[in-house]
Structure 1
Amino acid sequence: MPRPGSDLPGGATASGVAEASAPSLADRLAGFDEHWRALRPELARIEAWRWFFVIVGSLMVAAGVPILGWGIGEFVGVVRSGYPWIIYVAAGSLLSSLGQWLARSPARRAGRLIRGKVIGCFGLGYRRDASSFPVDGFERNDLLPRHTKRELEDLVYGDVSGVPLIFCDATLSVKGLRRTERVEVFRGPLVLSRFPKRARGRTLVVPDGGAIGNFFVGIAGQHRQRVKLESPDFERAFAVWSTDQIEARYLLTPTMMERLLALKQRFPGDMTVAFDGHEFMLALDDGRDWFPDPGLLRSLTHPARVREQAEEIARIAEIVEILKLNLDTRA
Structure 2
Amino acid sequence: MREIYELEKERLSLLVKLKLVSIFSLFIGLVAFVIFYFYMQREILLSIFMGVFSTLFFYAFIRNFLTSDFNKDFKLIAMQKVIESFGLTYESENFIKYSDFITPNIYLKPDTYSGNDLVYGSYNGVSFKFSDLFSQRRVQRVDEKGKVHVSYETIFCGICFIANFNKNFTSTTYALSRNRNVSLFRITMDNSEFEKEFNVYSSDKINAFYILTPNLMERILRLKNLFKSPLNLAFLDNKIYIYIEFGRDSFEPDVRQSLIGDDSIILRYKAEILELLNIINELNLNRKIFTSNEI
TM-score normalised according to structure 1 size: 0.59
The CA distance in 2 between the partners of 1:308 and 1:141, in whole Å, is 29
Deviations 1:96-153 (A, max 9, x none): 44422245457535642321211122111223334x3123233243122466665534
1:271 aligns with 2:232: yes
RCO higher in structure (CA 8 A, sep ≥6): 1
Q: What SS does the aligned partner of 2:105 have?
A: coil
Q: What SS does the aligned partner of 2:92 have?
A: strand
The CA distance in 1 between the partners of 2:275 and 2:202, in whole Å, is 28
The CA distance in 1 between the partners of 2:65 and 2:180, in whole Å, is 39
The CA distance in 1 between the partners of 2:56 and 2:22, in whole Å, is 14
Alpha-carbon contact 2:115-2:132 (below 8 Å) kept = yes
The CA distance in 2 between the partners of 1:106 and 1:154, in whole Å, is 16
Q: Which residue of 1 aligns with 2:83?
A: 119
Instruction: Give % identity.
Output: 17
1:295 aligns with 2:278: no
1:144 aligns with 2:107: yes
1:189 aligns with 2:189: no
Alpha-carbon contact 2:91-2:117 (below 8 Å) kept = yes
Q: Note the aligned Cα RMSD (angstroms).
A: 4.7
Q: What SS does the aligned partner of 1:304 have?
A: coil
Q: Which residue of 2 aligns with 1:49?
A: 13
Deviations 1:167-218 (A, max 9, x none): 12345566799x8987655444311111232369x8351438x4323xxx3x
Structure 1 unpaired stretches of 5+? 1-36, 80-90, 243-247
The 1:328–1:316 alpha-carbon spacing in structure 2 relative to 1, beyond 3 Å, is same
The CA distance in 2 between the partners of 1:327 and 1:68, in whole Å, is 66
The 1:286–1:162 alpha-carbon spacing in structure 2 relative to 1, beyond 3 Å, is same
The 1:123–1:157 alpha-carbon spacing in structure 2 relative to 1, beyond 3 Å, is same
The 1:171–1:319 alpha-carbon spacing in structure 2 relative to 1, beyond 3 Å, is farther
**Superposed, which structure 2 residues align to 1:50-129 within 5 Å?**
50-58=14-22, 61-62=25-26, 64-66=28-30, 69=33, 95-105=58-68, 108-109=71-72, 111-112=74-75, 113-129=77-93
Q: Which residue of 2 aligns with 1:304?
A: 263
Of 192, 199, 212, 2:180 maps to 212
The 1:141–1:253 alpha-carbon spacing in structure 2 relative to 1, beyond 3 Å, is closer
Q: What is the aligned residue count?
A: 264
The CA distance in 1 between the partners of 2:4 and 2:33, in whole Å, is 42
Amino acid at match of 1:207: L
